[in-house]
Each structure stands twice: as structure tokens, then as C-alpha cells.
Chain A
């Protein structure tokens, strides 16, 4: 498995065909997350899980299924419907010395908890000069593609990357989801852990009219048994290529991979995995090599994280660029219900952007 200390070389980044020293199981993303939570509850008596419907029922997406039964009601419990309260009490628990893992049922519901995240959790270490910390891992399903309408589909990651003191992590495979979540829980800073719910049960190619592929046929559903970590702040090289660099994360990793494969484009796809802190070295190395950069995210366009990526690539790789940086994103509208696939940055939008960037 890629990882270890210090900056990774390109060889290390691409070494994702994991060097597996442990036994593995095929898991979907939900099972991998559940496994990570169970392992951390077992290893660390200070880890606790709280959130709406996470207890007896095991969560609306089943991420915490069976955990209350195994670890007890004071380790895994339901909460009132109050995101402000969930995050607020988690900050207090962190000050006590616990490592809370609150679940916000949908990322779209997180806004009542923003003050507790932005002004409290993110600032606590700074304002108290390290006397108090907020080692929370806020898990939340995000993104669309499930006909969730405008309150069950949003991708608000850029709101959090804009906040100093928060780390933002987004896995795209069961293998990474488990290793990243364990790292996030052990991290002493607050981590926003957005889970792309469209790919809980299988990678999504973006071709919504094709049959759904389950995780069990995907190489990255091979999840090592037991404890392992994937370091925060390290990107994953999904495919190595020469024609262009694709910077993406979450569901769109799989869409980009499928579209590039369909088109026969020799793309180098980087799954960023952590947006803050960002793996700038991997980005620079790849763009320096290919000279072309496409940025893909599902979130709305204006002031999206793609804008930050575009600025960084332009500032740091300008003289390597042979074409303007392109962004493929969701539109600047609320996430529609009936027109979901018209909104979603799918194969047509990606394909045209790739054609454009390669024609320059």
C-alpha cells in the first residue's frame, strides 16, 4: 500500500495496485466504513459515535449497523434532530478527551451545525494555543445521482475547504474509505469526511443508462482485514497517462475513468482523496508531465474547489501548460429532481471538455 512518511514519488503514488500484506475481503463502501468504525471502537475506548438514527437502527445508509449492539449504548447512540447540538456536544466531548465520530445524515443537513464547526471546532486549537482540541471526524453522505432532490444531493465541500483549521477528506473506493476513515479518527484535528453516497454500493460510470456495476467486480473493493491507514493529504494515482491530467475526487473519479476509457484517452487521473491539506506535489508532478489539466467535481461551479485547483495549477505550473485549465462541474443551480441527469456532470460534459483541452 502506498503511504509512509515524506513526499511520495510518482512511482509511490501510482503504487495503488496495493501491496497487500493482510488478508482481504470484498466490501462495498458502506461495509468498509462500518468495518473502520468497528475497528476504531474496538481499539480506542475514547471513540464514540453519535448521530440521527445511528444507534439501534444502524443509520439510514446502514453505516453503523450492528455497532450499538456490539459496543453498547453509551458508545454508539442516537441523537435529537439537531446538527448544531450534535456538533456542539461533540466539541465538548473532544475537550473532555473523547474522539467523537458524529454522523450528519446528509451533507445537506450540516448547515445548522456550521457555527459549531467553523467558529468552534476549527478554531479551538488555535484560540486556546493547544490547550483544547476538537478531534472530531464528522462523517456525512454527500453528492447526488440518487434522485435525492435539492436537499439530499448537495456537494458542499468548498464551504469547508475555505475554513482554516478543518481537514476535508473524500474517499472514492471501499479500500480508501476504510484507511482514510481510520486516519481521520486518529487525527487530532477536526475532519470533515464526505462519503459519496452514489458509490456506496458500486462505482458509478456516469452512464446512468447502463447497468449498475457492483463493487465486488472492482479491484478497489479488496479491503484488507483489520487496522490500516491511508495518510491524509496524499492523492492516489488512478490511471497513469501522458495526454492530460484529471484532478478529481469522490464519485467523479469513476466517471472520469469511464469516460477516458470510452474515448481511449491516455489520461492521468489523480484522485485527490484529501482536499485540505492538498497533495500539491502530486498535482505539480502530473501537470508538469502532461501539460494539460482538467478539473472535475460534481459541486456547483462558482467558487467551487475547482476554482482553487485551477488557480494553484495556473500559479505553479503555468509554464508547463499547453492549454488553458478546464473545469467540469455541476451547474450553479440547486440540485434538481427530475432533471438530475441534465445537471450531473456526466459523459457528454466531460467528453467535450477533454476534446477541447486536447485540441489546443
Chain B
């Protein structure tokens, strides 16, 4: 019979019994978190190879952690991107704006204004600092937690909120789950919601740019958990085979909903180390160090632009909040982890750096936070004029059937007529159109 396992065991034989390893995170709810086991390298101690080096020269950097900002809040070593104070203040303001935006949208979801929201708290540098190192028209293929890129590229907050509310102002016509933005004008690809599918697409876009002998490169972001998808393997393979001008950003925030990074293989090696198997450059960077993230991303961008090929960057960071508004992380991880995270908070670190440079102070910081909160509040009020989810101010029924194809075929026309008929039956007076 083949419908039951082989009953033979190693009992009574001299062969050792085989054991299945099921990964378990170090800390669960109630445990005191202690990250002293993590090898946190000295800021400035990592060598910086030439951008067009052979991929194998990055092998050490796939195991190390590129860090720039020290405990003295000053930059160290060859990876210091030497950004001027104005650029650093712009970065800090983008951080503050995303944080203010996240706070208000999270609250909006709790108040019933929309169905869903996802914050990026603690991971702001991995999108904002990285995107600042790219050209503004480099094409980005984000995952779902890179709202910082849109904000950094100047996408209007009102547009973001319209999308989150799925209201009649939503230029995606209320079709997508909140935060699944798209903005071609900002070289920001449509977010899928299916995980890692954007990674081969970014590679394909980069291949097209090379086929057409263009100058724009592509960058994609994917969570460490989603690197387990076949798409990511395809992306790395194609990127390597065609030497595509693409940057593969792996945001290792330690948690994929309730599954710790061990379920994507983190107990065995780093995510950056995967680059070596494909023969592409790999960097592992302190994702909470805005200067290190910027420097790594710029290195990879310069490499891609010089036809040096792809780079895989692991951003080592921590998801300070739940996966989404639908998640309760206290059910599966220690509440102390966030406080104990040894790499700190990117906003604080950048703020302290600017203060150490004599280019910032607490008063200005408090005023900036207030101004960001006010700006988000004003944008929210503006967006609410277009309605909130479930309150009738949606796009017309017929739009449900548009854009399935370029032109409406007969069967969708028939179904659109049915949907409109149903509305007329339910609301004969024509309200709530």
C-alpha cells in the first residue's frame, strides 16, 4: 500500500534516526528579547570595492553589515556617501512625512474609513534613502511597504489617500486593495499584492532598457520572506544571465506576518549571500542606517549604469509594527524585540546625525513633525471630500468592467448592463449612484 508511510524505523538498527528541523524564533510573547547574539560590525570597518568589480569581490560584504553612522552619530569609513546637510534634511523630512502619514492612515482604518493599511515604521530608510540614491526616473518595482518612495518622489498625499479610501477620486478607480498604488509619472510600477512577482518584472524592464540602449535602470523591493518564491529565483537567474541593469533590494525586516526569517532560510545564511550563487554582486547593509543604505544603493546604481550588472542588497532591519492593520504581532513575537533591536531607529539616527553636525535641533525637529502632521491632516480632509470606503462615493458601476481589456467585449457589456440594472432595482430613486 502506497497510501501510508513506510513503517520501518531505525529502532533496533545501528542507523541514526533522521530528524526534521522546524525553525523556531528565539523569542515568543512574554520572553525577554536579547539580540547580543547578532554580529553587529563596527561602522566604517567594511571595505568598499570598485563599483564595476567582479561579483566575487563582494563576498565578504554579503556576510558583513555595511554601516556608516557610529554611536557618535558621525559617519565613518569608505561607505560614507558624504551627503550635504540640505540633502540630509530632505531625507529626514521624507522620513517624518511617511511616519506622519502612516500614523494618520492607521488611525483612519481603525475609524472605519478604509479596510486596510500597512505601516513601514522602522523601515523608512530602506525605501526613502535607497530611492534618493537613484535617479528620479529610474523605474521602481516595489512591494507593499515602500510608500516612502512615492512620498520621496513627490506623489501627492491626496492621491495616496484617495487610493486608500477607494473613493471616486482614486485614479485606480477603487479596484485595488489600499496601498497598492501605481504612478507611471513617478516611475513607480503598479503594486501587485502577489508576492515577489515584481522581481522578474523589474529584471525584464531593465533588460528592455538595455535592449533599447536606454540609460534608465530598474530597482525592485521584496521582503525576506518572499525571497522563497520561485519568482525571486527567476529574477536572480535572468538578472545574472543577461547582466541586467537592476537592483534587487531584499528588505529583511525579520518577520513575514508571523513567520520569522528562519522560514526563508535565515538560520543557514544571509539573504545577501544568495547573490554569490548567481554570480551577481551582493551587499548586506544596516537597513536602519540611512547613510549606509544610501551608499549601498548608489554603489549598485552606479554599477548598473556602467553595465557592471545587477546587485542584490539585503537591508537588515526590523518591522517595528504589525504586518498590517489585520495583524496582531503580540500573538507571536516578544513585545520587547522592537525596543531591544540593536540597530536603533532610522529616523532617530538621522536626526541625531544632523544635530551632531550642528545642522539641526530638537525645536526644528518638533516643528517639522508638527508641520508634517498638519500637511497630512489637510490632505486627508481634502481626500475625504471624495468619500471614504463604503459610503457611496465610488466610481460608476460601469468602470468595474473597463480596463479588463482595451475594448469591452460583448460578454462584459452584457454583464455591465446587468450590474447597472441591479443598482436600479436596489435604488429605484437613483440615489447612491
Q: Using Cβ atoms and an 8 Å threshold, which residues of chain A touch B218?
A: 92
Tell me, in angstroms, the Cα distance from A280 to B411 when the chains sit together.
Answer: 9
Assembly CA distance A164 to B199 (angstroms): 23
B418 at the A interface (CB under 8 A) = no
Contacts of B193-228 to chain A: CB distance below 8 A? 194, 197, 199-212, 218
Residues 40-57 of chain A, each 1 if its beta carbon lies under 8 Å from chain B, else 0: 000000001000000000
CB B124 to nearest CB in A, in angstroms, measures 25
Closest chain B residue, CB of each to CB of A126: B403
Contact A124 B190 (CB under 8 A): yes
Give chain A nearest CB distance to B394 CB in angstroms: 13
Asked if A120 is an interface residue, CB under 8 A from chain B, the answer is yes
Point out the residues of chain B lying under 8 angstroms from A188, CB to CB: 406
Residue in A85, A276, A277 whose beta carbon sits within 8 Å of that of B200 in the complex:
A85
Partner of A85, one of B209, B234, B404: B234
Tell me, yes or no, whether B230 is within 8 Å of chain A by CB: yes
> A interface, how many residues as a size bin?
35 or more
Total A-B residue pairs with C-beta atoms closer than 8 Å?
A: 144
Q: Are A95 and B189 in contact (CB under 8 A)?
A: yes
* Chain A residues, Cβ within 8 Å of B204: 88-93, 95-96, 100
Known: A82-B237, A91-B201. A125 touches B406 (CB 8 A): yes
* A116 at the B interface (CB under 8 A): yes
* A198 CB to nearest chain B CB (Å): 29
Q: How many angstroms between the C-alpha atoms of A246 and B327 in the bound complex?
A: 54
Q: Check if B175 is an interface residue, CB within 8 A of chain A.
A: yes
Contact (Cβ within 8 A) B205 A95: yes
A327 within 8 A of B: no
**Interchain CB contact (< 8 A) of A95 among B201, B211, B406:** B201
Whether B235 and A85, one on each chain, are in contact in the complex, defined by CB atoms closer than 8 angstroms, is yes
Whether the pair B197, A119 counts as a contact (CB closer than 8 A) is yes
> Which residues from chain B contact A112 at a C-beta distance below 8 Å?
230
B56, CB-defined interface residue at 8 Å? no
B200 lies within 8 A of A132 (CB): no
Given A98-B211, A128-B172: A93 touches B205 (CB 8 Å cut-off): yes
Binding site for B on A (CB under 8 A): 48, 74-75, 79-80, 82, 84-85, 88-93, 95-98, 100, 112, 115-116, 119-120, 124-133, 164-165, 167, 187-189, 233, 276-278, 280
- Residues of chain B whose beta carbon lies under 8 Å from any beta carbon of chain A: 139, 141, 171-173, 175-176, 180, 182-184, 189-190, 192, 194, 197, 199-212, 218, 230-231, 233-235, 237-238, 241, 403-406, 409-411
Assuming A82-B238, A92-B207, what are 14 further A-B pairs, CB within 8 angstroms?
A79-B238, A88-B199, A88-B200, A89-B234, A96-B205, A119-B192, A127-B182, A128-B182, A129-B172, A129-B173, A129-B175, A129-B182, A132-B182, A164-B404
CB pairs A–B below 8 angstroms (11 shown): A82-B237, A88-B203, A88-B235, A89-B203, A89-B234, A92-B204, A95-B189, A126-B403, A127-B182, A128-B172, A132-B182
